[in-house]
Each structure stands twice: as structure tokens, then as C-alpha cells.
Amino acid sequence: MVTYTATLDVPRHVVEYLSRLLAAQRRRIGTPKGSRALGTFRQAVLVLRWFRDRGCVHCLARDAGISQATGYRYLHEGIDVLAAQAPYLHEVLERCRGEGMSHVILDGTLIETDRLARTVLSAKGKEIDAWYSGKHKCFGGNVQFLAAPDGTPLWTSDVEPGSTHDLTAARVHVLPALYTAAREGLPTLADSGYKGAGIGIHVPVKKPAGQSADHLHADTRTYNALLCGVRSLGERTAAELKERWRALKYVTLSPSRIGDIARAALVLNGHWK
């Protein structure tokens, strides 16, 4: 065995924030003092190492001097206490209106995961893998998110199987609230995958089938260009989250946990600065 020193590239105040949440959780469930293998600070480091580097839980547990089962238990506990801090959708939209934001940006992202043996019927009546995304050619979960005009992530939804279309997932998790927000002066910008989402959801105008974009009217092309330019900051939000919290690139835990993992990453991201 060879030991070495490593540095966790996460601001210390983020580790301390998670440590306080874990300490509060232990008090809430009545954990006897000194009964845990790790203190809250070291547990926070383990959790953040997983989020930051998508590390092997077995390796993280070994480095911390605990069993693999305890490592998984500590990781799930960390995910739970973080996800519980994520804001609700209506709170986010109310804050956006209060801050005078001109709009919010809606988009979806696929978080890859291991293959799952679950089938469903497609819209055409064909049996397909529920968690397989034909668009991305891989298995994963569909998560919807909202971003501020400057690209700051504001909210993430629960997970839907990867075969779920963005518009379908949005109808389940976010569109009803966005309709109300639009009536109160807070419209939503989205890409063409959300065409038909409803009033208040602004999407680009698609070019005619089999024709180039030049066949669109000049005013329509200008509208599309302006919409895409304003939306571009929000479009990169998911990619930035995945680069900072690399656990979002590929989840090896139960896919049902993807929604909680995304919410936990959102909370961590908000405390990074």
C-alpha cells in the first residue's frame, strides 16, 4: 500500500455548509454522539468527492477507512440532505418575478446511466427500452431545468426515463406553473423541441420541411436569431453543471435517484460562489 495526499478542489465554505446540514440531520434522527465512523466534515468530503470527480464509491470508502456499504449509506444521506434544500418551482418563479427578470429559459438534459431492463410502448405502439434515448443513442434519465437570463441554474425537475420527449416531461413537471408565470409577465424561452408547449412558451419557428431556412420570411429569421441569441446563455447551463459536478455525466446509482442528484448539484452550485 502507498499513501498519498490529495486536494479537493471545492471551496471550504461549501464543505462546511454540507457538514452543517449533515450535523442537523444527525440531531434530527437522534444519532448518538460518537456512534458514526466518520464525523460530518469527513462525510461531507466523501460526498463532495463523489459529486466533483464521479469517484468509485468503493475507493472513496477505502480512503475514508470505512466499508463500502457505509460509504454508500453516507453518500445517499448527503444527497438527501442537499436535495431537501432545493427550491420548489413556484418559489423560484415568484422570486424571478420579484427580481424583475425579463424571462426564464427552459431546457432538458439527459443524464446517462447504466442500462435498465424496462420496456414501454412507444407512441407508434412499438416496444422500446424506457430508459434508452433515441436522440442521444444511450441510456439515461431526462431532467428538465430552468435558468435565469444570465444562465444561472434555478430549478431542476424530477427524472423521467430517457425515452421521454422533452415536451412530455415538461408537461408533467413544469408547464402548468410556467403558464401562470407567463400570464403574470414572466415568459419562457425554449428550443424547437418544445413546439406546441402553449401560450407564454416562446420557441423558434421551424423551417418548412425539405427547405432551407432561407425560405422563412426575413422577420421570422430575425425573430429566430434574436430568440436563439437571448437563449444561448441558458443553453449552456446543463453543460456547466455537468462539468462542475461530474457525477451528473454518468450516474451508476439507481436511476430513480437522478432527480435528487440533480437537485443536490443545483444546491451545491448555488453555494459555490
**Residue 91 pLDDT level (bands cut at 50, 70, 90):** very high
**Residue 124 pLDDT level (bands cut at 50, 70, 90):** confident
So what's the pLDDT on residue 211?
66
So what's the pLDDT on residue 206?
80
Q: Where are the domains of the chain?
A: 12-83, 89-254
Q: What is the mean pLDDT of the chain?
A: 90
So what's the pLDDT on residue 223?
84
pLDDT at 121 over 90: no
pLDDT at 120 over 80: no
**Residue 259 pLDDT level (bands cut at 50, 70, 90):** very high
Report the percent of the chain where pLDDT is more than 70. 97
Report the percent of the chain where pLDDT is more than 90. 68
**Residue 128 pLDDT level (bands cut at 50, 70, 90):** confident
So what's the pLDDT on residue 8?
87
Average pLDDT over residues 261-267: 97
So what's the pLDDT on residue 210?
65
pLDDT at 129 over 90: no
Q: Could you read off the pLDDT of 19-43 as tens digits, one per residue? A: 999 999 999 999 998 899 999 999 9
Reduced 3-state DSSP string for the chain: CCCCCCCCCCCHHHHHHHHHHHHHHHHHHCCCCCCCCCCHHHHHHHHHHHHHHCCCHHHHHHHHCCCHHHHHHHHHHHHHHHHCCCCCHHHHHHHHHHCCCCCEEEEEEEEEECCCCCEEECCCCCEEECCEECCCCEEEEEEEEEECCCCCEEEECCCEECCCCHHHHHHHHCHHHHHHHHHCCCCEECCHHHCCCCCCEECCCCCCCCCCHHHCCHHHHHHHHHHHHHHHHHHCHHHHHHHHCHHHHEECCCHHHHHHHHHHHHHHHHCCC
pTM value? 0.91
Q: Could you read off the pLDDT of 165-214 as tens digits, one per residue? A: 999 999 999 999 999 999 999 999 999 889 999 999 999 888 777 666 66
So what's the pLDDT on residue 213?
67
